[in-house]
Structure 1
Amino acid sequence: MTDPAILVAGETLIDFLPAGPGPLSGVESFSRRAGGAAANVAIGLSRLDRPPWFLTNVSTDGFGEFLATTLDENGVPGRLVTRSDHPTTLAFVAHDADADRSFTFYGADSADGHLDAGVVPERVLDGVEWICVDAPVALAAEPARSALLDLCERARDRGCRVAFDPNTRRELWPDDETLHGTLDAMLARTDVVKTSVEDLDGTSLAADDPTDLATNLFAAGPHTVFVTQGADGSRALAADRAPWGAVDVSHPGYDVEPVDATGAGDAFLAGVLCGLAADEPLDELLGFANAVAALTTTEAGAIDALPDRDAVAALRE
């Protein structure tokens, strides 16, 4: 097998999906699913015939055994997957009537916070074109936060480009100062960012309009911004200094019947990375990524619903 051109870094955890919509206080039963933002991206890429390197730390507990098996069964290379006896993070999901979701996390001093970028050798970085950090849990904890920032520094020093999804979960952070400082540090190391207007609300980067949001992000470091807009599709904006020059393109998305939006943003990011690795034009890339995300909302759970290329092609016909 040819070595992967993409390295994804972040957490692997358990999502507990509710039996029905409504607040957690009214849910009586849940189903266990493999999840985690970075794991969703890594498996999404594998389903799209682009298996990446995956840097993550998985617990040795029973949930961790399930997660390690899931990664293996989905064709994700295990070379950079480490194990420790720290507990698995558990995320309990609540759905509203439109299948949108919220998360409640449990797992003090969890395995995600002990991700070790030192296991990534220089030879791997020399062969990688893109590093993707989608790590809301890992970035919120030490020593994983410092490890991820160091990985991005090492990657950029060797000519790798960095893609970043802030994917902010404010309840995970010890204080706003740490959150905002980490965002600033990551964005200074980032080439391409995927986000939404809502995700950066309450930060110095916030703006109600995608154009203004992109302008703020350009000043922070990235040259290209992908803004997801839920059922309204997405938009890609690039500054003059981007390799593809100044770009502003939109895609309206696809009309599907949503069941569960968990992991849709991660699926979109997997689609974006596929297009970036293949040097696709941003408008083509945007349509492909929207299709991947739309299909992911049509089944419960993030990983179980991730589509393959044939399903994406069928939706786009």
Structure 2
Amino acid sequence: MTRPVLVAGETLVDFIPEQTGPLAAVESFSRRAGGAPANVAVGLAHLDSVPLFWTRVGDDAFGDYLRETLADAGLDDTYVEVDPTAKTGLAFVSLGEEADREFSFHRHESADTRLQPGTVDDEVLADVEWVHVGGVTLADEPGRTATLDLVERAGAHGATVSFDPNARPELWASDEFSFVETVEDVIEQVDVLKASPDDLAEAGIAYDDPEETATALLDRGPHTVFLTLGGEGSFAAATAEAPWTEGRESTFHDGYTVEPVDTTGAGDAFTAGAIAALVDGAPLGEALGFANAVAAVTTTAPGAMTALPTRDEVAAFRAEQS
């Protein structure tokens, strides 16, 4: 079946704390499905833009749980691989008083690091409008080569390629690969970049004001840049090469007022909203507002994937906010 979007990357189990505070003080957790690309894929499915999803989990109880969760969200298992020898990756989350979060990853040589180049063949890529990847699978081989290969081949087939650096310094602790150099290389190859100021700082890219930063990023290769600014809203800019603009354009959205419970996955929800809107033909400003609304709703419930809204829920939320 032809899908407009292919998402590729890690699926993990997030352990969400039952109380706020540092990880060392947390006594109990709730299990949730997570992983940034998985959140994007499920977010798209909730928004009636069901993608293909390429990921890899272990042949273990956590992998079974994740595969069931993806299936329940409406994703088919064509590219949901089961690794017979590697374990499923895990992430433990701590929440601050403002619902901000930190992660402790347990994914050394986990299944999601072992994506294999060429798994998605050229015939499939020729039928896909959009391919989205994240930065986590670029930290380890062979997932790194597999992700870079997908980006290159998707671009060659004319797909719009988007990238979220998703900076996780703990995963780049070895000297084998540089996050800074990797992000610089990938940005030059993609069409759409979604990033936060924290992502950019980890990548060695100075963040000034949104307009100047987006302009500098557009000069590096992408035709569209989304900057997520937390409680300050979000910003988007695009060149005349972008399919959703007639000329160079920039737009700001000041966000929505919510009482956040858990910000885990909010950036991924934003990405899903932006992709869904642009694939549907929305102009840049509308896509930005829709993406902001998807992200805002996601913060009002615990967990990343479990909090992702439907189109009807987003529409109701935006109506309440207007």
TM range (shorter): over 0.9
| 2:215–2:237 Cα contact (<8 Å) kept | no
- Per the alignment, residue 71 of structure 2 pairs with 72
How has the CA–CA distance of structure 1 residues 202 and 118 changed in structure 2, closer, same or farther, with 3 Å as cutoff? closer
- Per the alignment, residue 53 of structure 1 pairs with 52
Count of aligned positions: 315
Provide the secondary structure at the position in 2 that maps to 1:304.
helix
Q: Map of 1:275-286 to 2, 5 A cutoff?
A: 275-286=277-288
- Per the alignment, residue 81 of structure 2 pairs with 82
Inter-partner Cα distance in structure 2 for 1:92 and 1:50? 29
- Per the alignment, residue 24 of structure 2 pairs with 25
Q: Which runs of 5+ in 2 are unaligned?
A: none
- CA deviation profile, 1:243-263 (whole Å, cap 9, x unmatched): 322111011111111100000
- CA deviation profile, 1:192-225 (whole Å, cap 9, x unmatched): 1001112111433222322222123123211111
Provide the secondary structure at the position in 1 that maps to 2:183.
helix
TM-score when scaled to structure 1? 0.96
| 1:131–1:155 Cα contact (<8 Å) kept | yes
- Per the alignment, residue 225 of structure 2 pairs with 225
- Per the alignment, residue 253 of structure 2 pairs with 251
Say whether residues 1:16 and 2:39 are aligned partners. Answer: no
Inter-partner Cα distance in structure 2 for 1:203 and 1:119? 28
Give 1:242 deviation, angstroms. Answer: 3.0
Inter-partner Cα distance in structure 2 for 1:135 and 1:54? 16
Inter-partner Cα distance in structure 2 for 1:177 and 1:3? 35
- Per the alignment, residue 264 of structure 1 pairs with 266
Give 1:67 deviation, angstroms. Answer: 0.4
- Per the alignment, residue 306 of structure 1 pairs with 308
Amino acid at match of 1:293: A
Give 1:176 deviation, angstroms. Answer: 8.8
| 2:117–2:145 Cα contact (<8 Å) kept | no
| Identity level (%) | 51
TM-score when scaled to structure 2? 0.95
Provide the secondary structure at the position in 2 that maps to 1:261.
coil
Q: Which runs of 5+ in 1 are unaligned?
A: none
| 1:197–1:209 Cα contact (<8 Å) kept | no
Provide the secondary structure at the position in 2 that maps to 1:119.
coil
| 1:9–1:54 Cα contact (<8 Å) kept | yes
- Per the alignment, residue 163 of structure 1 pairs with 162
Inter-partner Cα distance in structure 2 for 1:12 and 1:177? 21
Provide the secondary structure at the position in 2 that maps to 1:206.
coil
- CA deviation profile, 1:2-58 (whole Å, cap 9, x unmatched): 521000011000100011111011111111111000000000000000110001111
Inter-partner Cα distance in structure 2 for 1:19 and 1:171? 23
Amino acid at match of 1:286: L
Amino acid at match of 2:17: P
Inter-partner Cα distance in structure 1 for 2:289 and 2:219? 27
Give 1:170 deviation, angstroms. Answer: 1.0
